[in-house]
Structure 1
C-alpha cells in the first residue's frame, strides 16, 4: 500500500516509529543498532561532554553492554560512584589487552603470576615487549618472590587468585599489602573464582577482570570480557583503549550473557557441590595419583583458600593419572559425553589436557616443573546430575587403569 503523506510511496525506510506502549517489556530488549540518532549537534555535544546520557556509535557503547556491566558490577561490589562502572569487551583477552595497554606505557614493567592464562602470559612475554613494556613472572603463592621481581619501573601487578591449571592459591593478602606499600596497581583476573568465590574489590583490587565467556555467562555460546577500575582516570584510560582498538562487544552476546547470568547463583552452587563430590571419587580411584581441589585438606594451599574463598571452593579441579598419554587417551575416549575441550565454566562438565593444549608450548621439563604430566587433566565441573557424572568418570577411570 502507498502512503499519501509520502507522495504515494511506501513508508518502509527508517520511517516507522517503534510502537508506543504504557507497558514495558519484561525481557531486556535486544538493540543491535550500530548508530544512534541525536536531535541536533548541541545534543551530541551534551552526550560527549557528559551533560546528557545517550549513545552515539556502537563501538563506543550500547545499551545491552551497559545492562550486563551493571549486573556484574552488582556482583563484584566495590565503588558505586558515577564513572566507575564496568566495561564490557569483546572477550576476556580483550579485557586484559585494554587494561594493560590502557594503563602501561613504553618503559613500564609489569609483574605477573607465573601461572596466568596462557594468552595473558604470551601477551606479557611476547607482545608487550614490542611496545617497550617488559614483564617478570613470579610465584603468586610466595609474596617474597613477587616482591623480588619488582623493579623501579614496575607499575602493575597482574594475578589470578586460583592458578590455571594447578589450582594453587595466591597469597592475596600479602600481594594486596605489597601493592599498597609499593604504590602499584593491583589487577586481579577473577575468572576462575568469580565474585562469589572472591570479592576482589572489597579485598583490595584496583582493577578486576573477567572472561564473561566462562562461568558468568555459563553456556559456551558467547565470547565477552569485563573490566572495572576503582580509579575513574584508570577506568577512562581502559575505556578509551577499548574503543580505539575496536574491542567491541556484540549486543547479541551481551543479551545472551545477561540471560545466562540470571542463573549464575544456581549454577555456581550446583557445580561447586558436584566438584566436591567428584574430587573424592577421583581421590578414591586407584588410577589417580593426585587430586588438586582447594576444598580438600590435602591441597597445599587449603588453609589459605579457606581464608580467602570463605568456603566457596569453586567448580574447578585437576587430577593427575598414574599413567601417561596412553591412559589419558583411554580416559577421554571412555567418556564421550564429557566434552574434551579447552574451556571452562560451561553448564556441562568439560575436560582439558594441558600438555596437549594450554601448555603444549612448554618443554616436558617445563611442564614437569609445574606438575603437569601427560596424565594431567583439568576438570571444569558442570551442573549435571551428580550420579551421571560419577557413572561417567568411574567408567573412564576404569578404562584408564586397564591400560598397561
Structure 2
C-alpha cells in the first residue's frame, strides 16, 4: 500500500490528505515530489492499441495526479475511489464553468444566483445566449424563489457557496434537494469557500467548481479551474467535453496547483482569522456604512454559514462606503499593502472596486438591481499581519 493510499481514508485529516493523496513517492528515484511530465505524446504498444496515456490533452500523468488529489479533497470519491466520480483540471476557471454549460442544449434554461461573479454573468448572458440558452438570476439565499423559477426546460442551477461580491450564503442542502426533486443538475462555485472549509458535494450538489487561480494555487502565479462530481454519468460527460474542447490545465500549472494544495488549509484558516478581525474593525469605522462577512453575527446567513463551513468563514470580505464611484476608487487606489488588482485568494492582500472591475461586465441596470453599488469595496485578505493591514486601510479610508 502506498503512502497516498494510507492517507486516502476520510479518517485522515484534510491537511494530511492534501499533502499525500496523489503525491506518491517517485518509484524510480524515491523523490518526495513527483516529477512533472511535459510530454505532449506517449509511445503506444501497437497500432490501434491504447496505453494508459496517448496524447496529453486526453490525459497526462501530472494532471492525473492533481485530479486524484482534487477528487479526494472535494469528496467526489469514496475512501476506495470506487464511487465512479472524479475531478477534472481545466486551463482556467472560466473554462471549467464553460464546460458545465456545455452539458446544456439550445432551448435549455439556467437558474443562477444573483450574487454572481462577473465572468459567470458574462458567460451566461452574452455567450450562452448565442446558443439559445436562457439564464434567470434569482436570490440564491431564498430556496423557494429558486424552486419557483424552475421551468420544464430548466436543466441547471448554478450558485456560489459565498456570493461574489455581497458575501451571501445559500442553503446548499435545500438547493440540492430542489435539484433532485425536479431532476435539475446543481452546480456550485466554491472558489471563496475552498474545499478546506466547505465541500458542497457532501450537501448533495452534483458538481463543484473552483477557480484554481485563487486559493488552490494561492500565490498569484497560475491560471486554472477545476470541476469535481460524485456522479459517474456527469464525470464521463464532462471528461468528454474537456477532451473534445481541449481547455486542459498544462503540466506546469498542475504542479503549481498541487503544490499550493499542500498549504491550502493553513493559508485559508490564517486568512480567515485576519478577515474576521478586519470585519469587526471595519464594523466600527465611522466612514463604513456596512460590512459583509459571513463570520459576523449580524450577517443574514451567519448561522447557516456556521453549519456549512468548517470553523472559519474565508478570507474574502466586502464593505460599503457611503460615497461616490470616484471617491471609492480613490480609497482603493490609496492602499499600500493591499494591491489594487482583480483576482483573489493569494498570499498578498488585494483590494478592488467591483462596479468597475470584477463586475464591470454586468449591465448597468443589473448592477443596480443586484446591489453592486458605487461604494462597494471587496478585499481579498492575504497573509500579512492584521495590524499592518488595518493601518493600511485606515489611512486609505481616512
Please, what TM-score do these two structures have when normalized by structure 2?
A: 0.88
For 2:211 and 2:101, the matched residues in 1 are separated by: 15
**Contact 2:351–2:379 (CA<8 Å) still a contact in 1?**
yes
Structure 1 residue 83 displacement after superposition: 4.3
Aligned equivalent of 1:65: 63
Structure 1 residue 147 displacement after superposition: 1.2
Structure 1 residue 88 displacement after superposition: 0.6
Structure 1 residue 35 displacement after superposition: 0.6
Aligned equivalent of 2:126: 126
| Correspondence 1:384-399 to 2 at 5 A | 384-398=384-398
**Contact 2:84–2:230 (CA<8 Å) still a contact in 1?**
no
Structure 1 residue 69 displacement after superposition: 1.3
**Contact 1:137–1:149 (CA<8 Å) still a contact in 2?**
no
Structure 1 residue 363 displacement after superposition: 5.6
Aligned equivalent of 1:201: 201
| Correspondence 1:5-404 to 2 at 5 A | 23-41=29-47, 43-44=49-50, 47=51, 54-79=52-77, 80-81=81-82, 83-101=84-102, 103-362=103-362, 366-398=366-398
Q: Secondary structure at the residue paired with 2:45?
A: coil
Number of residues of Structure 1 aligned to a counterpart in Structure 2 = 370
Cα 1:96–1:365 change in 2 (3 A) is closer
For 1:365 and 1:301, the matched residues in 2 are separated by: 26
**Contact 1:229–1:235 (CA<8 Å) still a contact in 2?**
yes
Q: Deviations over 1:167-197 (max 9, x none)?
A: 1111223212211211111111111111122
Cα 1:326–1:98 change in 2 (3 A) is closer
The answer for unaligned runs of 5 or more in structure 2 is 1-25
Cα 1:362–1:84 change in 2 (3 A) is closer
Structure with the greater alpha carbon radius of gyration: 1
Q: Secondary structure at the residue paired with 2:320?
A: strand
**Contact 2:76–2:228 (CA<8 Å) still a contact in 1?**
no
Structure 1 residue 251 displacement after superposition: 0.4
For 1:207 and 1:361, the matched residues in 2 are separated by: 25
Please, what TM-score do these two structures have when normalized by structure 1?
A: 0.87
Structure 1 residue 230 displacement after superposition: 2.0
